[in-house]
Amino acid sequence: MHFKLFLFIFFFSILSIQGQNTYVKTEHGLKAEIDSLVIELQFYTSKNVRVLKSKKGFDFEKNSLSVIAEPKQIEFKIIDADAHTVTISSDDLIVALDLVSGVVSFQDIKGTSLLKEKSNGSHLDPKMDVNEPSFRVKQEFQLDKDEFIYGLGQFQEGKMSQRNQKLFMRQDNKETVVPIIQSNKGYGVFWDNYAPTTFYDNPEVTSFDSEVGELIDYYFMYGKNADGVVKQIRTLTGEAPMMPYWTFGYWQSKERYESQEETVGVVKKYRDLGVPIDGVIQDWQYWGDNYNWNGMTFGNPEFPDPEKLTKEIHDLNAHIIISVWASFGPETTPFKTLKDKNMLLDFTTYPERAVNYWPAKPDDPLAGVKVYDAYNPEARDIYWDYLNKGIFSKGVDGWWLDSTEPDHLDIKDKDFDTQTHLGSFRKVRNAFPLMTVGGVYKHQRETTSDKRVFILTRSAFAGQQRYAANSWSGDIVSNWKTLENQISAGLNFVSAGIPYWNTDIGGFFAWEYPEGIKNPSFQELYVRWLQYGAFTPMMRSHGTTTPREIYQLGERGDWNFDAVEKFINLRYRLLPYIYSESWQVTSNASTLMRPLFMDFSEDTKALDLNDEFMFGKSILVAPVTEAMYTEGKNDSLATFDKTGSRKLYLPASTEWFDFWTGEKFNGGQEIEKEVPIDIMPLYVKAGSILPLGPKVQYANEKLGPIEIRIYPGADAHFTYYDDERDNYNYEEGAYATIEFTWDDSKNKLTVSDRKGDFKGLPKNIEFKILKVQDKNSSGIYPSTTKTNFLYTGKSKTLRIK
């Protein structure tokens, strides 16, 4: 959509207030000239308002890279509120513009204040961006002093609320920029600028300050609650498609498997052990040396037959994704093609040196690797053409798009002068991951609908959820503080509207543990990290130098092996719950990994907790983030002569059941839970229905029987979802749902008629109904009532005492 902000729309009636600036009613709102500024308010929906502020006479076009929605035709009213204020209102919002100061403020339809710009808080300071006239762009807001805000992407400082800090937001290995905040007051703001930006907050002011831009451009999104805000984010920037079912299983990776025999062998060993696995990841250098970096061919002689590689993995009922980068070595065909078309960016990226080891030495020869211009649609076409012919056609199931921020070594200001298809690199820096990930998604969708796109990627920008992307937290270090910081990093990331996120289980760099996997201290850290990883959207073990495969830990009967196997099996039992919740992500703009403010916004004690979260809307997860059975050192031993414990908070307004014991607790209190090495605190909210699948070796092995756990104490509802699991037929209605409804006062469970159909839908499913109750007369947890029945697709009501 194009905006010529220096023009007025003359075919609308011009309204004026005596002695004040004029404004013009437009198709979607209004436009006003105030001193040197042109200010426009546009309703995209009744809950979404775009605010644009530009300099008079400045001619430009702004095509949003993130927003794909067009403004809808909605009813709105314009009222001259007083001598210098005009308001524009929809069914949900009142937006006021001060025609003297240019300050914009937002209220709900009842007149309750939500957000207000700060007086004199709009700044467009002229500057040259290379040879283009531009501005330093800044907007200041005034938040309530007791307000909490979340989002901004992934920053690993361990903070939940993003108040009272300064963040320099430029894409980096472990920092992901998504310039969206949402407030516990039920609104969000998307700062639509792609340049490096400083976010600043203190009790007096909250601001976004971008290095370059044509205008101030942001969206105010009113959702009333956190899920509503996320819905508005996705209304603007795109919905999240369904991930393949198998991606929710367990993933094993290492930097790196050095031959196709080794890669296949990992899956074989898991199958031999009877430990579930669904995916293995092939990291870099299957292409050969660094001069052939990311050549999109299997140039390494240790990978002589890629079709055989993928076939053998598929024959083991597993899947493979493969590392692909946004850069190319000088001996590769893609490099030469892109160079001839001037589609390579001129700055130093990884790997800087030609050697296949890290760290390289200063006198090692340069590799000559360059990043491609992902902002150029023709370059994205070329990228996919080589990717499709060289890798996708070999049967690979998905993509590990590494370095999508991208790596920028030895940063110099002149690097940002580099020209891209959309202007200077400075102008569009933070949108690079959106461009390159989007190119792969769009091209694969055009190539086939028989295989769902799945992309694991190291960086993201606003709107990337529409590209089937699951971001991970970068090359983090293996230690307890880093593990703790992952929790709030991931929760703030998903608060910006992108639901799929994960982390290297165990941390990437294990250099604090030279003995690695053989060291009990690292093993304890790894076990706790894996327990946490079982409750993130992708359960993926990965790291360098220190292998992470379960058989490296020891053997069955060893504390470390058994604890890891227990949680891998638990992950698989939870797949029906996870997949049904992922359908809510797609169909209702929900979020799978949920900060507590999403579900307990009235509980002030829950608003700034950075060490626990909800997984789906039923399970409270409290990861263990400190050593209890070793000293946390490289030379320590594991001792289990006493059991450690972990304090956690149970949010108010509900009761909670200990997942492991069935013991019931009142919410609104802190409790202490014993945590032997094979237990991480999990609590299920009263009024929950939790489906658990059978024990399997891979996700699609068998459907049932399905255990339906009822956690009483309140009425409950759950939508059980299934489809063909690895194509896009669900977009045409090829899926089925079953509604489970629990009437707590009548102890009655109603299972609805099945709605919908798809190829391969089983006619019958065995359901095992289990009602979890408080302790019985003997003091044993849990006391349960069990009822089994064969579901044939027809409604059934059961009374369960």
CATH of the domain at 436: 3.20.20.80
Alpha-carbon span 162 to 148, nearest angstrom: 7
Is 405 a known active-site residue? Answer: yes
Alpha-carbon span 549 to 526, nearest angstrom: 11
Q: Which of 543, 559, 574 is the last residue of a domain?
A: 574
Alpha-carbon span 505 to 797, nearest angstrom: 43
768 within domain boundaries: no
Cα end-to-end distance, the chain, whole Å: 59
Residue 16: count of CB within 10 angstroms of its CB: 12
269 and 370 in a single domain? The answer is yes
At residue 778, does pLDDT exceed 80?
no
383 and 450 in a single domain? The answer is yes
**Whose CA is closest to 459, among 409, 401, 499?**
401
Average pLDDT score over residue span 111-117: 98
196 and 289 in a single domain? The answer is no
Sequence-ordered strand ranges (E) for 192-329: 197-201, 206-213, 216-222, 250-252, 279-282, 319-324, 327-328
What pLDDT is recorded for position 46? 98
Average pLDDT score over residue span 403-415: 96
Element (H, E) at 233: helix 226-237
Amino acid at site 154 = Q
Mean pLDDT of the chain: 95
What pLDDT is recorded for position 783? 63
Alpha-carbon span 491 to 151, nearest angstrom: 8
At residue 21, does pLDDT exceed 80?
no
CB of 264 within 8 A of CB of 619? no
Q: Which residues contact 331 (CB under 8 A, 6 or more apart)?
A: 291, 292, 295
214 and 255 in a single domain? The answer is no
* pLDDT bracket for residue 81 (50, 70, 90): confident
206 and 260 in a single domain? The answer is no
What pLDDT is recorded for position 627? 97
193 within domain boundaries: yes
Is 678 a known active-site residue? Answer: no
797 within domain boundaries: no
773 within domain boundaries: no
**209-238: pLDDT as tens digits:** 999 999 999 999 999 999 999 999 999 999
Tokens representing 595 are: 């900060």
What pLDDT is recorded for position 775? 67
Angle, CA 325 vertex, CA 319 and CA 330 arms, to 5°: 130
List b or e across 707-722, with b for residues whose CB sees 16 or more CB atoms inside 10 angstroms. bbbbbbbeebebbbbb
372 and 485 in a single domain? The answer is yes
791 within domain boundaries: no
**729-751: pLDDT as tens digits:** 999 999 999 999 999 999 999 99
530 and 429 in a single domain? The answer is yes
At residue 383, does pLDDT exceed 90?
yes
At residue 14, does pLDDT exceed 70?
no
At residue 784, does pLDDT exceed 80?
no
136 and 274 in a single domain? The answer is no
Is 315 a known active-site residue? Answer: no
What pLDDT is recorded for position 358? 80
136 and 271 in a single domain? The answer is no
The boundaries of the domain holding residue 211 are 14-142+187-222
280 within domain boundaries: yes
Average pLDDT score over residue span 105-130: 97
What pLDDT is recorded for position 146? 96
161 within domain boundaries: no
Q: Which residues contact 758 (CB under 8 A, 6 or more apart)?
A: 722, 723, 724, 729, 730, 734, 735, 736
The domain tally of the chain equals 2
* pLDDT bracket for residue 759 (50, 70, 90): very high
Q: Which CATH number fits the domain that encloses residue 54?
A: 2.60.40.1760
257 and 334 in a single domain? The answer is yes
Residue of 129, 405, 707, 722 with catalytic role? 405
Alpha-carbon span 615 to 594, nearest angstrom: 6
**271-328: pLDDT as tens digits:** 999 999 999 999 999 999 999 999 999 999 999 999 999 999 999 999 999 999 999 9
352 and 402 in a single domain? The answer is yes
Average pLDDT score over residue span 10-25: 52
**139-182: pLDDT as tens digits:** 999 999 999 999 999 999 999 999 999 999 999 999 999 999 99
At residue 15, does pLDDT exceed 50?
no
Q: Which residues contact 717 (CB under 8 A, 6 or more apart)?
A: 689, 739, 740, 741, 742
632 within domain boundaries: no
**338-375: pLDDT as tens digits:** 999 999 999 999 999 999 888 899 999 999 999 999 99
Alpha-carbon span 189 to 611, nearest angstrom: 25
Q: Which of 557, 574, 591 is the last residue of a domain?
A: 574
217 and 273 in a single domain? The answer is no
Residue of 278, 475, 655, 707 with catalytic role? 475
